[in-house]
Amino acid sequence: MTTPTIVLVGHGMVGQRFLEALADRGVTERARIVVLCEEPRPAYDRVQLTSYFSGKTPDDLSMVEAGFMERHGIELYVGDPAETIDREARTVTARSGRAFAYDTLVLATGSYPFVPPVPGKDAEGCFVYRTIEDLLAIEEYAKTARTGAVVGGGLLGLEAAGALKGLGLDTHVVEFAPRLMPVQVDEGGGAALLRTIEKMGLTVHTGTGTQEVVTADGAVTGMRLSDGSELATDMVVFSAGVRPRDQLARDCGLDVGERGGIAVDGLCRTSDPAVFAIGECALASDGRVYGLVAPGYEMAQTAAAAIADEEAGDGFTGADMSTKLKLLGVDVASFGDAHGTAEDCLDVVYSDSRSGVYKKLVVSADGVLLGGVLVGDAEQYGLLRPLTGTVPPVSPEQLVLPAGAGAPVALGPSALPDDAVICSCHNVTKHAIGQCTSLPEVKKCTKAGTGCGSCVKVIEKLLPAATDKGLCGCFSYTRSELYEIARTLRLTSFAALLDSHGREEARGGEGCEVCKPTVGSILASLAPTIGLGGYILDGEQASLQDTNDHFLANMQRNGSYSVVPRIPGGEITPDKLIVIGEVARDFGLYTKITGGQRIDLFGARVDQLPSIWTRLVDAGFESGHAYGKALRTVKSCVGQTWCRYGVQDSVKMAIQLELRYRGLRAPHKLKSAVSGCARECAEAQSKDFGIIATANGWNLYVGGNGGATPRHADLLAQDLSDAELIRLIDRFLMFYIRTADRLERTSTWLERLEGGLDHLRDVVVHDSLGLCEELEALMAAHVADYRDEWAETLDDPERLRRFVSFVNAPGAPDPSVRFVPERDQIKPDLTILTIGTLEGATSR
């Protein structure tokens, strides 16, 4: 008995899924499999194509598991596409001249980019956006370009626009339709998307087409649009849709649709029973060509089942066209009847033009969810899509209103029926996911979550081993989520946040030792923008602070406190040095010069702190915030002013930065340094944000840590002007404060951040999320609102009342705070084993 041969023409995402489906059914063990691939590499993730510009390599994008071809005996020929098909002889001839006889032929040739037939479309500087090779060519050409234009404002068009912007080009998008993404979103969603994208610095031209690509000496110099306007540009990327690649089928006489596509039946079989067609090249039996990967995967499974002689049921009769993606950092999703074409349907709409959020649900008169559009906030997509065609267990209004704006949404994955499809890419149901105990197991056993990834959050909530990521027993939200809630709803107290967003059992309570200081820090960070005063110990805020913040000083091991005045950049006058010496002498304090170029004064009793600070404030000193989760120091070398190697004034910059960010409350302490040249005497690369001078400006490094787990900082941007440097640091710090977890240093945060340094650069340098204006405004509010905490304390007798050792004996010192001499100074006396108290006095 001869071994049958299956020839697959095309090795894209759908082609690879077909091979996997054959392997799952054991077909690869009893048939010869030949694959003809046009591209120079095996199948890769075309959905994530743009991630190449974020640092992903072609190998990272590969869809082929290592050893898969060898393990299943599959013959793969890359860079050798099929050129002719002889159906009578049942052979396929490749470009190399190789001829392969087949028993079954599967066409997975995909689609090709449509390029409008305009003059100049083939000029130097014109590209399409379809393959890795296209991206490599775009990347190379962009090195000599300043402006780029994308023809097409659909899914791939906006991806291409994001890529050009990421390459540093001034970017234009030209879309013939009156709105962006006309297939997926409605007019309201398009308007919200347009506002957000324009805020990112892209220029959008809707309702106009390309009339001509203007050239000079054969290269692109501009575009002439159909509305009569002209656009100067150095390169043009066409992304105006795709067409089925059906030429092979046409040439060999297979039936094709009037508007293209290889006609197939429910089993994905063409007009020739020995030939199948799957993916974007196929015209399904419902008369549609599907351009999404999920229908292509379903076709691959259907064809594989038919070839393996399995019962295929109804076969492929159509597919869900729902989609969720992130374009230029903006969440966009549509599902079901997104445009409301059903008779007598109703719209439920929430729109916030200020934040770029638009949500529309389409429901029938009897409450059945028919579809929807989500722009700017697609968090609920994973739950809403499976509910399409049912009456949701809560009202549609609750499904679109943001948290805190209405009744709480009582809808979670548990509300979904067992047959709800959670992963549309691989058609995986809630019941199938429930048989697994971890996300890796789900991916391995069902492939759910390995496609577009939009279902992962819902999958995690369905898993029995899912962990509670809440901050503590009082809140089910993370620190970054609580930050956003407080900022958005302008909540100014811990009690208000706990009562509105705490766990049910914690509401009305007092919180715990985890959430109280965390929320205290959040409110301190947001104080200028949500209406709180700048003083950390006003009102309820005082009760949220730990001992150090409560007394504006660091408690030491024997119950005494340290005093650390700010010395910006390490620069100090002789007069101020004298004052520090006199204070240390008069109060008997231990003095130590720190690694951060400050002077610590140790051994102060709590009742002495106001007297010490009175003298320091009068001399021009202010709090160094050594006690707070805030900026500690900006260390510096002497720079070009004194050093013969210096190329910039590092001291001036260090002082400017320290004075700008002083008092900035963060999830953890912040340290910085400025080096005046590449010799790096200030050790800037071990700091949360470090600056190194170059002959052309400043290099900015972020995420360093010189602590217990040292980490070199990463280069974020280079050769920055003073203004550019400060603007990027503003954005970096506020983005960190906004998204980091409780007590998370920038080094740990950066390593945990999805996408790492590349994502951070996209956000704070290229403004991929459209947040930079807001981040800068938050920092500007902090700078404008800053007031020295010790100066404010000394001006208010009520605030001074807290600085006593004993509540009912305000003038009495704590007798347990004792010292012994060492090296002409003092050190704590640790021989005292019990804490003594004055008779009748109550210790704090």
**CATH code for the domain of 381:** 3.30.390.30
Q: Do 12 and 92 belong to one domain? A: yes
With respect to residue 343, please indicate whether it lies within any of the assigned structural domains.
yes
With respect to residue 196, please indicate whether it lies within any of the assigned structural domains.
yes
Question: Residue 20 maps to which CATH number?
Answer: 3.50.50.60
Q: CA-to-CA distance for 163 and 171, rounded, in angstroms?
A: 9
Q: What was the pLDDT predicted at 542?
A: 60
Q: What was the pLDDT predicted at 840?
A: 36
Q: Is the dihedral of CA 731, 732, 734, 735 positive or negative?
A: positive
With respect to residue 625, please indicate whether it lies within any of the assigned structural domains.
no
Q: CA-to-CA distance for 42 and 679, rounded, in angstroms?
A: 46
Q: Do 416 and 403 belong to one domain? A: no
Report yes or no: 449 and 459 within 8 Å, Cβ to Cβ. yes
Q: Do 643 and 735 belong to one domain? A: yes
Q: What was the pLDDT predicted at 99?
A: 96
Report yes or no: 370 and 339 within 8 Å, Cβ to Cβ. no
Contacting residues for 405 by C-beta, under 8 A, at least 6 apart = none
Maximum pairwise Cα distance, the chain? 110
From 202, 150, 151, 160, select the one nearest 49 (Cα to Cα). Answer: 160
With respect to residue 622, please indicate whether it lies within any of the assigned structural domains.
no
Q: What was the pLDDT predicted at 404?
A: 46
Q: Is the dihedral of CA 18, 24, 27, 33 positive or negative?
A: positive
From 216, 240, 264, give the residue that closes a domain: 240
Q: Do 653 and 782 belong to one domain? A: yes
Q: CA-to-CA distance for 94 and 85, rounded, in angstroms?
A: 9
* Amino acid letter, residue 573: T
From 338, 304, 368, select the one nearest 16 (Cα to Cα). Answer: 304
Q: Do 248 and 234 belong to one domain? A: no
Q: What angle do CA 778, 779, 785 make, to 5 degrees?
A: 90
What are 563's strand-pairing partners? 601
- Where in the sequence is the domain holding 700, given as residue range(s)? 630-787
Q: Do 658 and 734 belong to one domain? A: yes
Per the listing, tokens 């074409």 go with 341
With respect to residue 16, please indicate whether it lies within any of the assigned structural domains.
yes
Question: Residue 756 maps to which CATH number?
Answer: 3.30.413.10
252 marked ligand binding residue: no
Q: Do 81 and 223 belong to one domain? A: no
With respect to residue 314, please indicate whether it lies within any of the assigned structural domains.
no
From 805, 270, 304, 253, select the one nearest 561 (Cα to Cα). Answer: 805
From 269, 353, 348, 355, select the one nearest 316 (Cα to Cα). Answer: 269
Q: Do 417 and 460 belong to one domain? A: yes
Q: What was the pLDDT predicted at 414?
A: 67
With respect to residue 568, please indicate whether it lies within any of the assigned structural domains.
no
Q: Cα-Cα-Cα-Cα dihedral of 766, 767, 773, 779, to 10°? A: -80
Our count of domains for the chain comes to 6
Q: What was the pLDDT predicted at 210?
A: 93
* Amino acid letter, residue 605: R
From 688, 690, 701, select the one nearest 745 (Cα to Cα). Answer: 688
Q: What was the pLDDT predicted at 415?
A: 67
Q: What was the pLDDT predicted at 832?
A: 47
455 marked ligand binding residue: no
Q: Is the dihedral of CA 119, 124, 129, 134 positive or negative?
A: positive
With respect to residue 802, please indicate whether it lies within any of the assigned structural domains.
no
Contacting residues for 329 by C-beta, under 8 A, at least 6 apart = 162, 200, 762, 763, 768, 769, 770
How many CA atoms lie within 13 Å of 573's alpha carbon, on the beta-carbon side? Answer: 6
Q: Do 742 and 636 belong to one domain? A: yes
Does this model's pTM top 0.75? no
Q: What was the pLDDT predicted at 467?
A: 57
Q: Do 108 and 252 belong to one domain? A: yes
Residue 311: enclosing H or E segment and its boundaries? none
Q: What was the pLDDT predicted at 19?
A: 96
Q: Do 370 and 273 belong to one domain? A: no
Q: CA-to-CA distance for 103 and 7, rounded, in angstroms?
A: 8
Q: Do 267 and 327 belong to one domain? A: no
Specify the 3-state DSSP secondary structure of 779: helix
Q: CA-to-CA distance for 19 and 106, rounded, in angstroms?
A: 11
From 221, 240, 259, give the residue that closes a domain: 240
From 516, 538, 560, give the residue that closes a domain: 538
Residues of the chain with pLDDT under 50: 404-410, 832-844
How many CA atoms lie within 13 Å of 94's alpha carbon, on the beta-carbon side? Answer: 21
